[in-house]
Structure 1
């Protein structure tokens, strides 16, 4: 089993922390900071109400372009443990996370996934696709890893974390099976998912649906006129009937695609918004990982079948 380069370092850190007698919750409530709402939701399902979980980025926030605020820095400085996605998702926070890793336990969820399952270009630091959560089974690996980190650092709550993790893993397995069945409702020749940026490649590989994004794997890279023209050509050639905006990406470029298709005599619908790099509002069903993914799948199936 191949692990990401940071995996051995993480295990070493856990051992060192354990040997030093470092135990969370011994005297006060643990403060856990998660960079994204998706990471935060995973941690909340592990720790329940026994810890304070702070999410640096709120609903609809683009993590690719996000820069830490003074409040974020304060939260990070007070954290007992920090979790982030990795694979350059939080690219503009890399230096800050590296700084805090010298003081406190800092873990990347992506370190829990076998490197053979990564998508993208290994030749470049920012060439790997960070959107691992759209393959539910991969996300389960990440969740188990984060749970392992918490259990080994916080031995007092390890059994509780393990129980919560096992319950949540069952829900993820059920979600995975539900997605597989739902995608089958779309005729094979109509399974083409076009979105604002390449956030759904893991989803496409896991659930047998072709995906195409107007932008690359990072929203920091702008799309140009040629990108729009090429996508218009693709949509017309494949007779695509719907494309999808995302909750964390401006939809103006996609509207240009719709207009380009219209001028060529092809009507394509700008579908309902998909949740990509961030969850929905916290008090909504889409404010949970399972709710977000379930809503996305239903939106895709309804538009393409």
Structure 2
């Protein structure tokens, strides 16, 4: 029947079945991660000692994702399940809380100090989950991944720590590149308009005014009034480019362009950004480093900054 979607009662039944089955011994630590970003962190930290399965591939929206039958099987058989938290996987939270009673389940972004988080637009006492947009914040998530792996497999603590330290150095180089590249964007052009408000941490870190047609969640509705307000602002401030996202429909962005054109202002798509999911598996953009390198390079180039044609490591698929 493929990846059918089930009621919560059915989830519990499938989970109980597989939890009752013996788990075969394996040389590698079996890890299941929800998002591509967490899966990448797990691979970086675990190295050859882990086998990582990511549930949400390229173009998948984690705000709306629901666990499938094969997801349940994988998670109930895993040594460690890593999810983001901060209400990102809103449709899966009940399942994770239930699974945590039987398996090791860790919400890695929940380890971040609350004073470093942005408030959520739509839910009181919840926070903007898009912390991967700031490599400094993401470094703390990588440490949470390291600690979760050590807790499950303490004999590999030295390896996990060394791998994490190496990756943190790579994240620091990425952060330094982002600082330099984005600082080259003229002050007047430092406005980032995207489909939904996924770039708040990015904007706070690099001095950009960030505007999303939708709110923090892609489940928020974008009304005609909001689009009209943004059209007026873009025209008044002579903003030349807006950005689409790989995991969100471009319908609302097209409406912005058409609205600006009706007022005699030429507005173009500055490029496609990775917001809630990374690039294609097996590509540079399909890694966390490549995802952020792509975003920084595309944004800086489209808004008048000075960047290397193929980004930090010269590995981007296209030149900018």
Question: Is contact 1:286-1:292 (8 Å) kept?
Answer: yes
Matches within 5 A, 1:1-305: 28-121=27-120, 124=123, 127-305=126-304
Question: What is the CA–CA distance in structure 2 between the aligned matches of 1:226 and 1:61, rounded to whole Å?
Answer: 28
| SS class of match (1:89) | coil
Determine helix, strand or coil for the equivalent of 1:58. Answer: coil
Q: CA deviation at 1:26?
A: 8.0
CA contact (8 A) 1:64 1:219 kept: yes
How far apart are residue 207 of structure 1 and its match?
1.2
Shift in alpha-carbon separation, 1:122–1:214, aligned structure 2, 3 A: closer
Give, in whole Å, the separation in 1 of the partners of 2:106 and 2:46: 16
CA contact (8 A) 1:88 1:126 kept: no
Return 183-192 or 116-125, whichever deviates more. 116-125
The CA deviation at 1:79 is: 1.1
TM normalised by structure 1 equals 0.89
Q: Is the 8 A contact 1:112 1:146 kept in 2?
A: no
What per-residue deviation string (whole Å, max 9, x for no partner) do you get for residues 99-154 of structure 1?
Answer: 11111111112122111001014993574100000011000011112111211321
* Secondary structure, aligned partner of 1:244: strand
- Give the count of matched residue pairs: 282
Q: Secondary structure of 1:292's partner? A: helix
- What is the Cα-based RMSD across aligned positions, in Å? 1.7
- Shift of the 201–250 alpha-carbon distance from structure 1 to 2, 3 Å rule, reads same
Are the structure 2 counterparts of residues 121 and 279 from structure 1 closer, same or farther at C-alpha, using a change threshold of 3 Å? closer
- What secondary structure, in the 3-state scheme, does the structure 1 residue paired with 2:132 have? helix
Separation of aligned partners in 1, 2:121 and 2:253: 29
Query: Which residue of the partner structure matches residue 7 of structure 2?
Result: none
Cα 1:221–1:134 change in 2 (3 A) is same
Q: CA deviation at 1:271?
A: 2.0
**TM-score computed with the length of structure 2 as normaliser:** 0.85
Q: Which segments of 5 or more consecutive residues in structure 1 lack a partner in the other structure?
A: 1-24
- 3-state SS of 2:221 partner: coil
SS at match of 2:164: helix
For residues 194-220 of structure 1, what are the alpha-carbon distances to aligned partners after superposition, in whole Å with 9 as ceiling and x for unaligned? 000000000000111111100000001
Listed as ranges, the gaps of 5+ residues in structure 2 are 1-23, 305-320
Query: What SS does the aligned partner of 1:186 have?
Result: coil
Corresponding residue SS for 1:271: strand
Distance 2:234 2:44 in 1: 40
Task: Please state whether the residue corresponding to 1:258 is helix, strand or coil.
Answer: helix
Q: Distance in 1 between matches of 2:260 and 2:168?
A: 43
User: In structure 1, the residue corresponding to 2:244 is in which secondary structure?
Assistant: coil
Paired with 1:250 and 1:78, the residues of 2 have a C-alpha distance of 34
What is the CA distance between 1:188 and its match in structure 2? 1.3
Label 1:27 to 1:261 Cα distance change in 2 as closer, same or farther (>3 A).
closer
Q: Which runs of 4+ in 1 moved over 3 A?
A: 25-28, 121-127
